[in-house]
Structure 1
Amino acid sequence: MSLQPAQPARRGRRARPSLPIGLALVLSLLAVPALAHGVSSAELDGIAYRQAPGARLPLEITLRDENGAPLRLVELFDGPPLILILGYFHCPKLCSVARATLLSVLRDGGLTAGADYTFAAISIDPSEDATAAAGAKAADLAHFGPPGAERHWRFLTGEETALRRLKTAVGFDDRFDERRKAFAHPLGVVFVTPKGVVSGYLLDLGYNAEDIRRATARAASGEIVPPVSPILLLCFDFDSTTGHYSFAIVKALRWGAAATLGLLGLLAFRALQKDMRRV
């Protein structure tokens, strides 16, 4: 079916300006932040991944594995690159979602644990112990575990000093909220070369198997990837006393809405110019 060209407006009649339908989307996006008005900007400022491609991990620090045994970070690097995700195992919100997203893609993406990559989920909460790590590992293995995952998927905890050094190295800025008893922290995946150097990041939950394969291959080859677009997803708590969500995708929506508003404003201006010329 062919589309017929629009008929020009008759002389003497003023054509109605053509407002882009997408403007409604912009208005919706601008309204979304109201869903999270329970969170002040001060609570979220500074919480992000400060991407640090080329940074070296503190391989000498000691963590604890899911059995409670000490494990030096360097022991994770026995050949393949490391796929690293930071969060905490008792997180009531998005940590498990982020981990499940990554592990399901790894399961279905054709990569082999131990040959193509090592995976590590490291808790940012120094109060968590091997019991929490073991429980998270057992649940994730039951749902997503491919061959080799038992040995090459590591769920680790650590003391505050060691965790702080690791977070600083990868640019992970978080904050503990005393009132909510929860961590506000960024979501993302860090890819580390076999020599313990940050190769690159994936900072959203919309990646697919090809994204993971590409990032893993780059890390395996030692490639340092420039920082990705700063779309910010944060994991934060839900405040039952106020009924407000604190999931700070709001920042990403605000940035996206502003950019979209600018684009649609330009389109509307051009459409208006064309309509005026037909008057």
Structure 2
Amino acid sequence: MNRLITLLMLLIASMSAAAAPPPPADIDARAGFDQHVGAALPMSARIVDQDGEARTLAGIAHGKPLVLAFGYYRCPNLCDLTLHGIGRAVSTMTLDAASDFHVVFLSVDPDETAAAAREARTMLAGMRPGARAATWTFGTADAATIASLTRVAGFRYFLDERTKEYVHPAGLIVVTPEGRIAQYFFGVGYDAGALRLALVDASNGRLGGVIDRLVLLCCGYDPTTGRYSVLVSRLMMVLGSLFVLGMLVAIGRLRRRTA
């Protein structure tokens, strides 16, 4: 009986796949992420959060870096994976999602409601309690606001009229407290260590410690991969500085002994 049920499920899945229309031929030109590092997001843009409250991005950031992601709540594919990917990374970081930075997920569908945003927050909070999704902002906005934010962010998407679904890329953006785009992370899985460094870097010295500063001195952000990588020149500069400092300390101690 179990085998029969399995065969029936496979048959239904194959029929659904066969019935699904092929993707548009120009999908790469119409959907994707263009990196606009350094661009200024309109932080005065008003969005409506999951509780129906109108808020600005500046008010949400409240002087802290933002983790910003675009998608939509009825998305059948990437958006759940994106949210879980952010939740997984946030739950394993030492930074706090309520006091050190803020997470914003904004729907690109102007017809979606605060109720849909609230349902997404409840779902993620229940499945990933460590991510503290109850402190995130799940937002909706009108078409003009969505267009202005996604245009600056380089987030290209479109509504496929055949399926009535939005075709869009997956990823997140780290934004400075002032609204400057600092870094991009692509896909649906995000390295917690790299995301932490990005937030420390975007905080203008307000987050992190001495070790974070040393790591950032030795590493550079690679926009092609959305990750940090060791820069040999910076590493040699830091090691050289530490060597000179060590020599000065040794000379100072030697002079005190011989005095």
- Give the TM-score normalised by the residue count of structure 1: 0.64
Aligned to 1:234: none
Matches within 5 A, 1:193-272: 193-221=176-204, 228-229=223-224
- Whether contact under 8 Å (2:121, 2:133) holds in the other structure is no
Separation in 1, partners of 2:132, 2:80: 21
Identity of aligned residues (%): 29
Matched AA of 1:101: G
Aligned to 2:116: 132
- Whether contact under 8 Å (1:120, 1:156) holds in the other structure is yes
- Whether contact under 8 Å (2:93, 2:196) holds in the other structure is yes
- Whether contact under 8 Å (1:120, 1:155) holds in the other structure is yes
Q: 2:171 aligns with which of 180, 188, 191?
A: 188
- Whether contact under 8 Å (2:48, 2:54) holds in the other structure is yes
Separation in 2, partners of 1:119, 1:103: 10
Q: Which moved more, 1:39-48 or 1:99-108?
A: 39-48
Aligned to 2:140: 157
Describe the superposition over 1:40-88 as per-residue Cα deviations: whole angstroms up to 9, x where unpaired: 4323323111110111111122110101121122211213200011100
- Whether contact under 8 Å (1:46, 1:173) holds in the other structure is yes
Aligned to 2:15: none
**Which consecutive segments of 4 or more residues in structure 1 shift more than 6 A?**
none
- Whether contact under 8 Å (1:66, 1:155) holds in the other structure is yes
Change (3 A) 1:149 1:37: closer
Matches within 5 A, 1:1-279: 38-146=22-130, 149-150=133-134, 152-221=135-204, 228-229=223-224
Higher-helix-fraction structure: 2
Separation in 2, partners of 1:148, 1:139: 12
Quote how far apart the aligned CAs of 1:221 are: 2.1
Quote how far apart the aligned CAs of 1:114 are: 2.2
Matched AA of 1:196: G
Separation in 2, partners of 1:163, 1:175: 12
What SS is found at the alignment partner of 2:116? Answer: helix
Separation in 2, partners of 1:121, 1:190: 10
Count of aligned residue pairs for this structure pair: 194
Separation in 1, partners of 2:161, 2:108: 15
Separation in 1, partners of 2:79, 2:60: 22
Q: Which moved more, 1:68-77 or 1:84-93?
A: 68-77
- Give the TM-score normalised by the residue count of structure 2: 0.69
Matched AA of 1:190: I
What SS is found at the alignment partner of 1:41? Answer: coil
Q: How well do the aligned residues superpose, as a CA RMSD in angstroms? A: 2.3
Matched AA of 1:55: A
Describe the superposition over 1:82-125 as per-residue Cα deviations: whole angstroms up to 9, x where unpaired: 00111001101111111101111101222211222100011011
Comparing both chains, which one has the higher relative contact order based on Cα–Cα distances under 8 Å and sequence gaps of 6 or more?
1
Gaps of 5+ in 2: 1-19, 206-215, 227-259
